[in-house]
Amino acid sequence: MIRRLGIGARWTLRYTLALLLVISLFATYTYSQITRRQERNARLLLELQVKEVAEAVLRGGHASEAVARTVERSVTVAEQDLKLGLQVFDASGQLVVTGGSLERHPLEVPPELFGGGRDRLWREMDFGDRYAYLILAVPVRGGYVQGSLYTRKFVRGSRELRDIYYWSIPLVLLFTAGLGYWLARGSLRPIQEINRTARRVSGTRLEETIPTTGSGDELDELANTLNDMITRIRESVQRMRRFSANAAHELRTPLNAMRSRLEVTLEKERAPEEYRRILTELADEVASMSDSVHGLMRLSQSEAGLSPEQRVSVDLGGLLTEVVEFFEPLALEAGIEVNLKVDNAVTVPGDPSWLHRLFANLLHNAIKYTPKGGSVSLGIEKSGERVGVFVSDTGVGISGEEVERIFEPFHRVGATPEAPGIGLGLPLAREIARAHGGEIALQTEVETGSTFTVWLPLDS
Amino acid sequence: MLRILYVEDDPTAREYIHKGLRERGYSVEAASDAREGIDRAAKGPFDLLILDVMLPDSDGFSLLEELRARGIDTPAIFLTARGEIADRIRGLNLGADDYLVKPFAFAELLARIQAVARRSLAEPDDGRLEIADLVLDLRRHAVERAEKPVDLTPKEFSLLEYLLRNKGQAISRAMITEKVWGHGFDTYSNLIDVHINHLRKKLDHDFEPKLIHTVKGIGYVLEDRSSSGRDT
């Protein structure tokens, strides 16, 4: 199996390839430009020489002294390694003047010149080395002037350039790749460090944090984000442990009582009426345990969150009216006044059943902890993108240390025997608010009362 | 006699519920998985299906869909260990079907069986629901007892309508909570007593015979127990 490349290696490879592409384009361009210029220079030079001889032919004929002199001078003056060669043919095709390198290698008459009406002919001759000779033939007065130039000198420049490219480009690439890898490794090292710590932490040691350099750069931000996440996970794990311990305790206590009771009952024969009485009492115990289980189930359901198909547009005013109507008889019996004030229509996206449950729990809670003659007020206030539903009572209030724990499952304020439920009302209310993207705020003063405000995002 | 098909994979629950229902005079056939359930339902006919949602070879919803596809439209009560099925129930046939979350009280199941079995009763033609000298007019949204108008709040009206539609049947507090107020109030079904007391004051306090009766261990029943017109 091929090991997957790390980010560092991938970056290096990618940048090296990009650089290779850029350098190749540049090299090809410079090479072709230089080659073309050299070639043009060679042609210009040869054309100049041939033209001078042709002019001499025009002035004095093919075999004149002037022609011979011009050829002689040109060949002598021209640089040796250009190997300039010139020759003149008369109208009968007879070689009349020759000079320079063509003295040793006289060329055949190029057949294309005859009957073609062309006034010049370029040709490249290869004597074992590509483009070694550049040849120009120009017809003049029935015959023609031919010149040749050894082009190696011109070609040499671009050849050398090419050779330089051949060895320098790989070298540059190699160097760049090395440098790139080194840089990438350097900038990735803190990430590896963070990764190592995160892996260690995600196992069991949730109390550890990822160290930051304090520079406030992106990597510090990453470390901070992860630390926040670890903190949240740690808190939720602790909450979960506490929750399951409490839940087990909550169920174990009645279970234990029932078990003893059953065992004692089975110790000896009893009268049928006694069996009936005991079974009825046990059935009641089981029913209350069932309620606990249902409560736990609802809590875990709301913790799992709201599915999109559960979300509908819910009219908060109407919903609160229903909740208040449901609890009004209870409040009347308890001698508590319930006021609901809804000014305008406000809708939130959510599940009506869950929201009923949320506000029912808050209102029930308020009625439960408000003494006779007190009052509970409910209302809606808008604030930007959110809406707050407050449930405010003139009840007993919640003391400082209780405030922290009031939303924890199984915590019962005052733990009065007549207060029903197993302490899941407020935790459930908060989980439902959270499932709707909201939160519950609490303002409270002992002996004065409490105000729970549910903040929910408005319908967009 | 009401014929019930009961599909449940847990043998203990199957045995006891089967026994309990038989003792109540129902004719019950039990199946332990969806395949057996479909076979038995096809041989039918039944008046009611009680389906466990979690079955070894399928689930209760698919089983019912399969039966409905075969043209069997027997009403169903689902039994589930999970609470989140409320949405799927809504998608099925809320008029005819019901569900119970485990653990549930046997009395609760009995009350639902009776309610579901009776739900096929047709809507009254004249929009009037009556018992003894109590009349609820759905069209005028008015209630009279002994020809005297009774002033009810909208929820009291719904509550009375629900009781009237199930007159003679014991209705559980949980059923009243769910059908009249909605599932969000299910933890507070004990508060139904308070609402019933309010309704009693308005309907029964100054009149004879008394119509709203408490059924111990279940809830309430709307019934004329005077010798003259005993309702079934």
Percent of chain B at pLDDT exceeding 70: 88
**Ranges for all domains in chain A classified under CATH 3.30.565.10:** 308-457
Q: Which residues fall within 8 angstroms of residue B232, CB to CB, at 6 or more apart?
A: B168
pLDDT band at B188 (very low <50, low <70, confident <90, very high): confident
Cα–Cα dist B156/B159, whole Å: 5
Q: Any CB–CB contact under 8 A between A311 and chain B?
A: no
Q: Partners of A149 in the beta sheet?
A: A134
Of the candidates A297, A325, A326, the beta carbon closest to that of B83 is on A297
- Min Cα distance A202 → chain B (Å) is 31
Contact call for residues B3 and B47 (beta carbons, < 8 A) = yes
Cα–Cα dist A309/B185, whole Å: 21
User: Which one has a higher pLDDT value, A439 or A120?
Assistant: A439
Q: Any CB–CB contact under 8 A between B12 and chain A?
A: no
Average pLDDT over residues A135-144: 84
* Per-residue model confidence as pLDDT tens digits over B21-64: 999 888 899 998 888 988 888 887 888 889 888 888 888 888 88
CATH code of B128-222, in short, is 1.10.10.10
Domain covering B3-118 assigned CATH 3.10.450.50 in the classification? no
Query: Residue A391's pLDDT is what?
Result: 94
- What is the largest distance, in Å, between two alpha-carbon atoms of chain B? 58
- Helical segments of A150-217, H only: 152-203
Cα–Cα dist B162/B138, whole Å: 12
Contact call for residues B86 and B100 (beta carbons, < 8 A) = no
* Per-residue model confidence as pLDDT tens digits over A34-84: 888 888 888 898 899 888 898 888 888 888 888 888 888 888 888 777 888
Contact call for residues B225 and B156 (beta carbons, < 8 A) = no
Cα–Cα dist A250/A245, whole Å: 9
Q: Which letter does DSSP use for residue B2 in this model?
A: -
Q: What are the structure tokens assigned to B35, written together?
A: 């395949």
Helix axes A352-368, A425-435, angle to 10 degrees: 150
Query: Residue A454's pLDDT is what?
Result: 95
- The 3-state DSSP class for residue B131 equals strand
* ipTM of the complex as predicted: 0.81
Q: Where are the domains of chain B?
A: 3-118, 128-222
β-strands B3-7, B27-31 pairing: parallel
User: Which one has a higher pLDDT value, A338 or A104?
Assistant: A338
Among B156, B176, B155, residue whose Cα is nearest residue B220:
B176
Q: What are the structure tokens assigned to A446, written together?
A: 């002992």
Among A405, A403, A418, A408, residue whose Cα is nearest residue A452:
A403
Tell me the CATH number of domain A7-156, given options 3.30.420.40, 3.40.50.300, 3.40.1840.10, 2.30.180.10: 3.40.1840.10
All residues of chain B having their beta carbon less than 8 Å from the beta carbon of residue A364 are 188
Among B97, B102, B109, residue whose Cα is nearest residue B83:
B102
Among B74, B2, B63, B61, residue whose Cα is nearest residue B31:
B63
Of the candidates B82, B86, B155, the beta carbon closest to that of A325 is on B155
Among A177, A139, A151, residue whose Cα is nearest residue A12:
A177
Dihedral of CA A353/A359/A363/A366: which sign?
Answer: positive
Q: Of the ranges A81-95, A332-346, B115-129, B159-173, which one carries the lowest mean pLDDT score? A: B115-129
| pLDDT of A127 higher than 50 | yes
Q: Which letter does DSSP use for residue B59 in this model?
A: B
Beta-carbon contacts below 8 Å between A and B: 67
Query: Residue A414's pLDDT is what?
Result: 61
Cα–Cα dist B75/B27, whole Å: 16
Helix axes A218-267, A272-303, angle to 10 degrees: 170
Q: Any CB–CB contact under 8 A between A354 and chain B?
A: yes
Average pLDDT over residues A260-266: 91
Length of chain A: 460
Of the candidates A286, A329, A356, the beta carbon closest to that of B195 is on A329
Contact call for residues A341 and A350 (beta carbons, < 8 A) = no
Cα–Cα dist A278/A281, whole Å: 5
Contact call for residues A416 and A365 (beta carbons, < 8 A) = no
Q: Which residues fall within 8 angstroms of residue A349, CB to CB, at 6 or more apart?
A: A311, A312, A313, A314, A436, A457, A459, A460
Contact call for residues B22 and B28 (beta carbons, < 8 A) = yes
| pLDDT of B153 higher than 60 | yes
Query: Residue A1's pLDDT is what?
Result: 39
Contact call for residues A456 and A348 (beta carbons, < 8 A) = yes
Name residue, tokens 């203990």: B12
Question: Do residue B101 and residue A294 have CB atoms under 8 angstroms apart?
Answer: yes
Q: Of the ranges A247-256, A446-455, B150-159, B221-230, which one carries the lowest mean pLDDT score? A: B221-230
**Ranges for all domains in chain A classified under CATH 3.40.1840.10:** 7-156
Q: What are the structure tokens assigned to A125, written together?
A: 């001759």
All residues of chain A having their beta carbon less than 8 Å from the beta carbon of residue B195 are 326, 329
CA B63 to chain CA centroid, Å, is 21
Among A57, A277, A13, residue whose Cα is nearest residue A147:
A57
Q: Of the ranges A197-211, A241-255, B130-144, which one carries the lowest mean pLDDT score? A: A197-211
Among A320, A16, A364, A59, residue whose Cα is nearest residue A180:
A16
Helices and strands in chain A, H and E counts: 9, 12
Question: Do residue B87 and residue A307 have CB atoms under 8 angstroms apart?
Answer: yes
Label each residue of A33-52 as H, E or C.
HHHHHHHHHHHHHHHHHHHH
Domain A308-457 CATH superfamily: Histidine kinase-like ATPase, C-terminal domain (3.30.565.10)
**Ranges for all domains in chain A classified under CATH 1.10.287:** 218-303
Contact call for residues A421 and A413 (beta carbons, < 8 A) = no
Per-residue CA distances from B27 to A321, B4, B13, B107 (Å) = 45, 6, 17, 17
Question: Do residue B187 and residue A295 have CB atoms under 8 angstroms apart?
Answer: yes
- Burial class of residue A451 (count of CB atoms within 10 Å of its CB; 0-12, 13-18, 19+): middle
Name the class of domain A218-303. mainly alpha
Q: Which letter does DSSP use for residue B181 in this model?
A: I
pLDDT band at A418 (very low <50, low <70, confident <90, very high): very low
Question: Do residue A356 and residue B184 have CB atoms under 8 angstroms apart?
Answer: yes
Of the candidates A297, A309, A360, the beta carbon closest to that of B184 is on A360
All residues of chain B having their beta carbon less than 8 Å from the beta carbon of residue A357 are 184-185, 187
